[in-house]
Chains A and B, each alone.
Chain A
Amino acid sequence: MNLAICLLLQDDHEITIEELETRYNTSVTKGLTSTFASQVLERDGPNELKPPKGTPEYVKFARQLAGGLQCLMWVAAVICFILPVFMVTSAFSLQLYLAITLISVVVVTGCFGYYQEFKSTNIIASFKNLVPQQAIVIRDGQKNQINAHQLVVGDLVEIKGGDRVPADIRIISGQACKVDNSSLTGESEPQSKTPECTHENPLETKNIAFFSTTCLEGVATGVIINTGDRTIIGRIASLASGVGNEKTPIAIEIEHFVDIIAGLAIFFGFTFFVVAMFIGYAFLEAMIFFMAIVVAYVPEGLLATVTVCLSLTAKRLARKNCVVKNLEAVETLGSTSVICSDKTGTLTQNRMTVAHLWFDNHVHAADTTEDQSGQSFDQSSETWRSLARVASLCNRATFRPDQEGVPIPKRLVVGDASETALLKFTELTVGNIMDYRNRFKKVVEVPFNSTNKFQLSIHELEDPLDLRYLLVMKGAPERILERCSTILIKGQELPLDEQWSEAFQTAYMDLGGLGERVLGFCHIYLNEKEFPRGYAFDPDEMNFTTSGLCFAGLISMIDPPRATVPDAVMKCRTAGIRVVMVTGDHPITARAIAANVGIISEGSETVEDIAQRKRIPVEQVNKRDARACVISGGQLKDMSSEELDDALRNHPEMVFARTSPQQKLIIVESCQRLGSIVAVTGDGVNDSPALKKADIGVAMGIAGSDAAKNAADMILLDDNFASIVTGVEQGRLIFDNLKKSIAYTLTKNIPELTPYLIYITVSVPLPLGCITILFIELATDIFPSVSLAYEKAESDIMHLKPRNPRQHRLVNEALAVYSYFQIGAIQSFAGFTDYFTAMAQEGWYPLLCVGLRSQWENVHLQDVQDSYGQEWTFSQRLYQEYTCYTVFFVSIEICQISDVLIRKTRRLSVFQQGFFRSVKTHPKHASLGIMYLNSQSYSITIYRVNSVSVSFQWWFVPVPYGILIFVYDEIRKLGVRRYPGSWWDQELYY
């Protein structure tokens, strides 16, 4: 679907009014007839954007149940259901339990994920503006106010300053009508709307006002040409749904991990299948072993761990104003390597503010900080007083009433952006402007228009004895200068000669070069004789002096960057993340802001800069010399995707200005082609396709439109770019911590599996039962593995490059091998030591145990002899088996305590990281408590977990192995730290 083509087909802005009337069967004076309007309403449907076709709730839920890990667990559960069919013995219920547990784990974690999504959707919904919009429509020659969604094509509507444009409108007549198109195109400058067709592209022409934009001032009448989803904004919104959702990096990681697990499970299962066949088991029995091993290999607790870790981080982010819609997005943010940021509102404060003044031949910097904490300029000069008076008086903006308590920069103002900026500025510097204006009674005013490019007003003086009138004027600096003959320097009126003109030009150019909007100010005291009190000033004729004025100064305004943004951009830079600015604004403004916040760093030059410096044509400049690059939408249109890729590759500092929504999407795609993981910020409806295409779309909570929020994965509640950086930090941390959590969770898989393997091959009584395994996986070990999610970063993660998704895997070979074959092996030995101890101390020597299985498990044998000649009934043996389960369980837990301590760090020594700092706050104690309760609360667990209370000293048998794990890992970390890049580092650092 190509937006540009769609738009070109429409020529409503080019045809004459008469043609328009016939096309829509309307009249530009009387509007539609009510009956016809209702017919059209019937035909076209109401004038509202259909909510994006939301995924049905059950699909959302089903999606939560169908991830990589979930599938693994489903397969395991199915095997559990199939197994009893082959098994004749009584283990049926056990398999059933296992299957049910597996399924409930998937469902419970699924609910968890679904709840998270649901909750954030609610947060988004709360932003929706529920007040129905009203519109003034002329039908049957009568003016009516009706609900905006009842408007139809052909309706004649009136809009005035402050209204939202109710549909796409062809302007018929207008007076100084200005529209804020920022939600559509991203331009922060108001666009004036006039009846003339000025451009063949409907987006550029001045005679069309678009649905959902805001009319800032003036009035206009127009004929509706598009309603509802057929409006430009509606089409963009539907464009978003055409963009497919991409898999998140963490989902890819988990898939990769599931591949590893499944591969290992089948490998183990098959190996022991062969071994079992070799030993002489029947084929069916060996097959059961095979499937049981595959099931035993599924890390049941991992899904819960990952879900909980991600939710915790999501919660932490929410406190920092980042609401995450999709849990996996948390980690995606951490692997982000490019951020395509909007300018207006995200990097900047989204309010025009006076930035610089030029008077007395000096450029003075005003305070642009949000909280007025910056330095002010010298206000002692007489010139400043005059300039301030002009700025205060020649201003039509007023504060909305009843805002005494609100800090001045936050007050609501009626008026356009630059007048608002001036009003706030004068209110801050002069104080109480409303009162001040009252003292200088306004006699007449000429509002700004595009031909004059100035605005003037005439006031009586404050001093009642002084009967002169004061004329104040502001406007485009060059126009103002034309009308001036003198200039005010240090309170003295000096003739405006060549020298001063040049000084003015330099200042004007400088300020303009900063991307600021510059206004000139001048005044004159009208001659008392010529213009006595009561003189009839005529604003149309201008029967008064408008030349030979006295130039007071220049004031320039800009939408200043947010205070926290330069720091945040700096942080991104050190973190190896590129920040690319994509804006609809003018290239010069965009560049100025980019330079201001550090997106273009100091000393970086564009190709044009180099050309200018070296005085050579642009074509001769080596593009690789230019770090920075500003590309406008027009240039972008002529570039092929290869050229764009080249530009992105060659210039680390990129600014895209005057871009259209489609182009934003192209930029994102280009970044992704270069292998980057792209975060995109946006607020307008126009951004939603890019938000969706991006690996992580970040919408703005305050300024963002619903469409943007729907398409995004994350929402910044405070619209602040710096919050993204926090998100990146958290995302990177959770990646590291997930690694630790997974390493911890995986380790115990081996001591859970080896008992079964030994049981098959050596035929000892089963050392560890499957319900006990589930208890470890889903009860005792969840807390410690989640506690690792709270671990502090080992090094300054914001000084590292973003992870390369192809090289730095979540679960790499080293991690799996180290967990399984080293720590897991130690744990297995610990378990078997404790197992054989418990057996021997009860009378079954290790050598007797070997090969004992068939006798031990024979239900009909009630007098099996132990090593001392005592005879045991089946139940007594079973009870002993449960003791073994418990003892093995205790061993795993003791080793896991050691394991959770070593997993706190991957490289640093645990002592360097702070051993006890976080231990206190960890839920680890809870798990210890649970373990203790478990093994002591005899009556509960005997039935449920097949474990029994065990002698106290069996808790101490695995302790040497626990210590071994700790010491061994410290040695490993020491080697890794001491000899980076060595064989040791390569093989043992995960």
Chain B
Amino acid sequence: MYKGKERKGSSSEWRDAFWNPRTHELLGRTASSWGLILLFYLVFYLFLAGMFVLTMYIMLLTLDDYKPTWQDRLATPGMMIHPKGDQLEITFSVSETESWDRFTQTLNTFLSPYNDSYQVQMNDNCPPDQFFIQEDSGEVRNNPKRSCQFNRSMLEECAGISDRFYGYSRGQPCVLIKLNRVIGMLPGKNGQSPYVTCGAKREDGDKLGPLAYYPPNGTFNLMYYPYYGKKAQVNYTQPLVAVKFLNASVNTDINVECKINSNTLEAGSERDKFAGRVSFKLRINHT
């Protein structure tokens, strides 16, 4: 009767299954048997790995170095603010220097490549309000591609030049907004540049107060587009828009949403809160 007995395996059976001293079997195989099977798997996996490497290599050959094959996931570029903490909150007390010190420092660091001197040295002064198109002529790459200057001074009040503290010390903070880079994106047409508008969300409308945009109207000038990728356009300078909250209510949370207005970009989907818009919380404490 085979029933039942099968599962009764005594401890000696278990030991035998692991190492059988009579047959010199480790886990049911002799040394030579193990050798053979391991050799088989070695060859098998080497072959598979070879095939994998080969297919990967062929796949990489088909890729264009300058432009990804597909960009369908990036139809609406994302937006981001600076400075930012973990939670996209800008909370500080006007009177406590330490509370906004880190914001100004981040901004300093962030804006250092935008210094006028640096920009003038590296980049071109392009004709505004038109795309800065640098086509390749057939197979001959027109590389490296030049980039347009975005001078820090264009941010005026928020450049951190006239006001070292970007307005934080006076309760009029500056927030920088950037649009994510997407290769080949043309964010406007007919010479109309996309521009940023900010507003308060829902009931916070009256708390927001007047805003100032730099450059004027909060535009991302067309001359900064299209982007040709980090390989072709090494010195690309991402345009920025600064928003200054001139008279925001103090001691209260204000939910701000900024969004891009363009006549070519699709509105972002409901699911992506950062496509074509960005929301953050502003709180200025003042005693």
Q: Which residues of A contact B (CB under 8 A)?
A: 246-247, 252, 255, 672-673, 675, 805-806, 821-822, 825-826, 829, 832-833, 836-837, 840-843, 845-846, 860, 862-863, 865-876, 879-880, 883, 951, 957, 960-961, 964, 983, 987
Contacts and interface: CB of A to CB of B under 8 A. Distances in A.
A133 to B, nearest CB: 41
Contacts of B183: 868-870
A673 B40 CA distance: 42
A673 B88 CA distance: 76
Contacts of B48: 825-826, 829
The 10 closest A-B pairs by CB, nearest first: A869-B230, A873-B78, A875-B272, A871-B180, A843-B68, A841-B69, A873-B274, A862-B274, A868-B229, A833-B55
B31 interface: no
B73 A840 contact: no
Nearest to B230: A869
A837 B79 CA distance: 27
20 contacts: A675-B2, A822-B44, A829-B49, A833-B52, A841-B68, A843-B71, A845-B63, A862-B278, A863-B178, A867-B68, A868-B231, A869-B230, A870-B68, A871-B80, A873-B180, A875-B274, A876-B74, A876-B275, A879-B73, A957-B55
B129 to A, nearest CB: 24
Given A829-B48, A843-B68, A805 B59 contact: no
Given A860-B87, A875-B275, A983 B36 contact: yes
A741 B38 CA distance: 27
B181 A841 contact: no
A756 to B, nearest CB: 18
A883 B73 contact: yes
B236 to A, nearest CB: 8
Contacts of A806: 2, 6
Contacts of A883: 73
A611 B284 CA distance: 117
Given A866-B68, A876-B78, 12 more contacts: A252-B6, A675-B1, A825-B45, A840-B59, A843-B68, A860-B88, A862-B79, A870-B68, A870-B74, A873-B275, A964-B51, A987-B37
Nearest to A842: B70
B182 interface: yes
A939 to B, nearest CB: 12
B266 to A, nearest CB: 13
A879 B71 CA distance: 12
A863 B60 contact: no
B120 interface: no
Contact of B74 (A675, A841, A872): A872
Contact of A840 (B2, B3, B63): B63
Contact of B80 (A252, A837, A862, A957): A862
Contacts of B230: 865, 868-869
Nearest to A880: B73
Given A829-B52, A872-B78, A951-B70, A841 B63 contact: yes
Contacts of A829: 48-49, 51-52
A868 B67 contact: yes
B56 interface: yes
B14 to A, nearest CB: 13
Given A829-B52, A866-B68, A987 B40 contact: yes
Contacts of A840: 59-60, 63, 69
Contacts of A822: 44
B203 interface: no
A833 B56 contact: yes
A247 B274 CA distance: 60
Interface string B180-197: 111100000000000000
Contacts of A880: 73
B279 to A, nearest CB: 11
Contacts of A960: 51, 55
Given A829-B48, A841-B68, A883-B73, A672 B1 contact: yes
Interface centre among A843, A845, A867 (most CB of B within 10 A): A843
Contacts of A842: 68-71, 73
Interface string B141-165: 0000000000000000000000000
B180 A869 contact: no
Nearest to A817: B37
B18 interface: no
Contacts of B41: 821
Contacts of A873: 78, 180, 272, 274-275
B98 interface: no
Interface centre among B37, B55, B274 (most CB of A within 10 A): B55
Nearest to B49: A829
B86 interface: yes
B8 interface: no
Contacts of A865: 181, 230
B51 A862 contact: no
B87 to A, nearest CB: 7
A870 B69 contact: no
Nearest to B182: A870
B24 interface: no
A863 B78 CA distance: 7
A883 B70 CA distance: 12
B202 interface: no
Interface in B205-252: 227, 229-231, 236
A961 B54 CA distance: 12
Contacts of B278: 862
A826 to B, nearest CB: 6
A246 B55 contact: no
A74 B127 CA distance: 69
Contacts of A874: 272, 274
Given A822-B44, A951-B70, A860 B180 contact: no
A247 B3 contact: yes
Nearest to B236: A869
Interface in B20-70: 36-37, 40-41, 44-45, 48-49, 51-52, 55-56, 59-60, 63, 66-70
A146 to B, nearest CB: 48
A873 B73 CA distance: 10
Contact of B181 (A821, A869, A951): A869
Nearest to A674: B1
B260 to A, nearest CB: 13
Nearest to A964: B51
B267 to A, nearest CB: 14
A93 to B, nearest CB: 16
Contacts of A964: 51
B273 interface: yes
Contacts of B40: 987
Nearest to A673: B1
B44 A876 contact: no
Contact of A869 (B4, B87, B229): B229
B66 to A, nearest CB: 8
Contacts of B271: 875
A805 B230 CA distance: 66
B183 to A, nearest CB: 6
Contact of A871 (B36, B37, B52, B181): B181
Contacts of A862: 78-80, 180, 274, 278
Contacts of B231: 868-869
A841 B70 contact: yes
Contacts of B229: 868-870
B2 A805 contact: yes
B281 to A, nearest CB: 13
Interface centre among A825, A862, A866 (most CB of B within 10 A): A862
Interface in B247-287: 269, 271-275, 278
A957 B56 CA distance: 10
Nearest to B63: A840
Contacts of B69: 840-842
A471 B68 CA distance: 113
Interface string B98-120: 00000000000000000000000
B188 to A, nearest CB: 19
Contacts of A867: 68
